[in-house]
């Protein structure tokens, strides 16, 4: 019996996991990547001799990755050193108003009580209770389902689960639902921010996204040496098990014969035959015809108005004064609704943005991660993010708009007491147009389809397409955006492919692997902030 051959397009997280899983099961795997590096959105850059993560900045849902490494006969600890974060993020609204949120909800409840009073602490307690209830209601019939359906969700949630969701009113926008817990608008901003983890505007995202708070409290981990080491570890394992990796190999077309995917044609003209193909990239690229007519017909188109958020980002070496940065710090705008109205309604950069800043030389509580008592020579490593519209392919930002965005971003930081000094030569700016170039057909959207409205979670495609032999992985398919979700999608694609090969061909049957169809976290969580 000959060995089935699979071509995987895209060496992002979903592609790496699919390649590893299939190689472990004895299939011949060729992983092709258009860039000269692997990782997709799990990326890093070198600035003045220092490596800075410019994608996900922490690892969440550790059990997902433990399962992936276990399927390959090893452990996560054999390849990575992880440090648990007890402080999730430090938040600021101005120079005086600051609040730390902790992995331990009891510590957060106490801090909220000091910050906003006993009623706010009680509201947080109820919020955590309901977030946990929603998670439990959705975990089996939705989160653990490979292809979730509303009918199975309603049947599987049970009476208690449906009552829990009714208490939260999941059909309301998250922003409005939070009013029942937090009269203080600052706390509504803090917990509405979870919507941006999956690229949604808090004013339009469904209230069910509050379950992300419960998931985050299950563990946040810092990776020693940087997040990119996760991609490197998966690549090494996949190659060890026999997979082949080809970078600088752009796919121009998915080939099909007799109504079935049968390989790919590269931009160079080379054709690679295969028994099946996995497309690990944004579904918009397939729907837009970037992989030929066969790929276009295999998926449904996504409307431009349904795109998730993009971002303006700055990776830099900088000197910092004033604000006691933690590893994760968030600086809020004075008007959250106006901020997302600018982005979603008007398609422009926010006039007064909120800012996320990752201080990568600091631990979760802000102490230097190296054995030193001072900042690294040349400035500490910072990664800064401001939400932006996914307009990179329609209306690239002008130099004036970018300059103004940088100015108002620095103004937000200054209002909260933080001063940054950075040499322009030690700063790398990325815009929606830059992300659109890296991820074609997205306009720079970083999370696939925006979860605006409760029905959107059911509109993500699953691993199988209408073209037999063609499968999907990545953050734009179920179970959703974010590093652990993309990893789960790669496992789903591999499992679906193995099952179909075993049932529809005379090829040697392959064993199934367990666990990947039962994620233990939300389909709507991203691994980065």
DSSP string, 1-36: -PPPEEEEE--BHHHHHHHHHHHHTT-EEEEE-SSS
Residues 266 and 335 in one domain: no
Q: Return the pLDDT at 372.
A: 58
Residues 353 and 422 in one domain: yes
> Is residue 94, in this structure, part of any structural domain at all?
no
Beta strands, E only, 334-432? 355-359, 380-388, 419-421, 427-430
Residues 315 and 299 in one domain: no
And the tokens for 402? 């970018």
Helix then strand then coil, % of the chain, to nearest 5: 40, 20, 40
Token pair 């550790």: residue: 62
Residues 155 and 230 in one domain: no
Residues 248-291: tens digit of each pLDDT: 999 999 999 999 999 999 999 999 999 999 999 999 999 999 99
Beta partners for residue 263, in sequence order: 255, 273
* Rounded Cα gap, residues 449 and 156, in angstroms: 25
Helix (H) or strand (E) holding 271: strand 271-273
Structural domain boundaries, residue 196: 109-216
Residues 331 and 409 in one domain: yes
Instruction: Give the residue ranges of the chain where pLDDT is below 50.
Output: 506-529
Count of domains in the chain?
3
Residues 206 and 233 in one domain: no
> Is residue 102, in this structure, part of any structural domain at all?
no
CA distance readout (Å), 367 to 104, 364, 370, 420: 19, 8, 9, 18
pTM: 0.91
What is the separation of C-alpha 184 from the centre of its chain, rounded to a whole number of angstroms?
Answer: 29
φ and ψ of 318, to 5 deg: -150, 155
Residues 115-158: tens digit of each pLDDT: 999 999 999 999 998 888 877 777 655 665 566 655 555 555 55
CA distance readout (Å), 385 to 319, 349, 389: 18, 12, 13
* Rounded Cα gap, residues 130 and 430, in angstroms: 38
Strands 355-359 and 328-331, bridge-based pairing: antiparallel
> Is residue 199, in this structure, part of any structural domain at all?
yes
Q: What is the CATH number of the domain that holds 14?
A: 3.50.50.60
Residues 412 and 316 in one domain: yes
CA distance readout (Å), 400 to 134, 352, 396: 44, 16, 11
CA distance readout (Å), 146 to 91, 115, 303, 519, 524: 36, 42, 24, 9, 14
And the tokens for 487? 């990893």
Residues 156 and 277 in one domain: no
* Rounded Cα gap, residues 404 and 37, in angstroms: 32
Question: Are 435 and 442 a contacting pair, CB within 8 Å?
Answer: yes
Q: Return the pLDDT at 2.
A: 83
Residues 209 and 280 in one domain: no
> Is residue 63, in this structure, part of any structural domain at all?
no
Q: Return the pLDDT at 483.
A: 93
Q: Return the pLDDT at 304.
A: 53
């Amino acid at each position: 019996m000959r060995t089935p051959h699979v071509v995987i397009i895209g060496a992002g997280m979903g592609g790496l996991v699919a390649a590893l899983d299939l190689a472990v099961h004895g299939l011949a795997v060729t992983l092709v990547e258009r860039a000269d590096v692997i990782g997709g959105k799990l990326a890093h850059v070198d600035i003045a001799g220092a490596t800075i993560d410019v994608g996900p900045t922490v690892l969440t849902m550790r059990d997902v990755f433990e399962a992936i490494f276990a399927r390959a006969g090893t452990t996560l600890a054999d390849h990575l050193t992880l440090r648990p974060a007890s402080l999730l993020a430090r938040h600021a609204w101005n120079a005086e108003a600051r609040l730390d949120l902790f992995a331990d909800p009891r510590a957060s409840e106490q801090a909220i009580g000091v910050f906003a009073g006993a009623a706010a602490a009680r509201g947080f307690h109820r919020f955590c209770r309901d977030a946990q209830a929603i998670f439990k209601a959705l975990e089996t019939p939705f989160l653990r389902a490979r292809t979730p359906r509303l009918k199975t969700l309603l049947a599987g949630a049970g009476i208690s689960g449906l009552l829990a969701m009714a208490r939260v009113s999941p059909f309301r926008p998250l922003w409005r639902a939070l009013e029942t817990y937090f009269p203080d608008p600052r706390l509504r901003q803090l917990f509405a921010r979870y919507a941006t983890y999956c690229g949604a505007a808090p004013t339009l995202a469904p209230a069910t996204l509050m379950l992300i708070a419960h998931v985050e409290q299950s563990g946040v981990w810092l990776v020693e040496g940087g997040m990119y080491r996760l991609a490197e570890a998966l690549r090494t394992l996949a190659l060890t098990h026999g997979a082949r990796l080809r970078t600088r190999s752009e796919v121009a077309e998915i080939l099909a014969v007799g109504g079935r995917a049968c390989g790919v044609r590269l931009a160079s003209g080379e054709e690679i035959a295969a028994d099946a193909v996995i497309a690990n990239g944004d579904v918009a690229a397939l729907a837009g015809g970037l992989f030929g007519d066969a790929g276009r017909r295999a998926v449904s188109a996504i409307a431009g108005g349904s795109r998730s958020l993009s971002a303006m980002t700055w990776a830099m070496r900088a000197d910092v004064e004033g604000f006691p940065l933690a590893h994760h710090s968030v600086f809020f705008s004075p008007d959250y609704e106006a901020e997302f109205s600018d982005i979603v309604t008007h398609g422009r950069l926010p006039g007064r943005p909120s800012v996320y800043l990752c201080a990568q030389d600091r631990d979760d509580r802000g102490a230097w991660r190296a054995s030193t008592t001072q900042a690294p020579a040349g400035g500490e490593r910072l990664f800064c993010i401001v939400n932006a519209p996914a307009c990179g392919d329609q209306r690239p930002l002008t130099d004036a708009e970018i300059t103004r965005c940088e100015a108002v971003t620095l103004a937000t930081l200054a209002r909260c007491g933080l001063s940054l000094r950075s040499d322009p030569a030690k700063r790398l700016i990325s815009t929606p147009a830059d992300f659109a170039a890296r991820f074609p057909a997205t306009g720079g959207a970083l999370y696939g389809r925006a979860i605006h409205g409760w029905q959107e979670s059911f509109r993500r495609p699953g691993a199988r397409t209408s073209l037999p032999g063609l499968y999907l992985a990545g953050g734009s398919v179920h179970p959703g955006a974010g590093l652990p979700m993309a990893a789960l999608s790669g496992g789903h694609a591999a499992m679906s492919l193995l099952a179909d090969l075993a049932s529809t061909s005379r090829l040697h049957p392959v064993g199934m692997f367990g666990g990947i169809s039962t994620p233990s976290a939300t389909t709507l969580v991203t691994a980065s902030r």
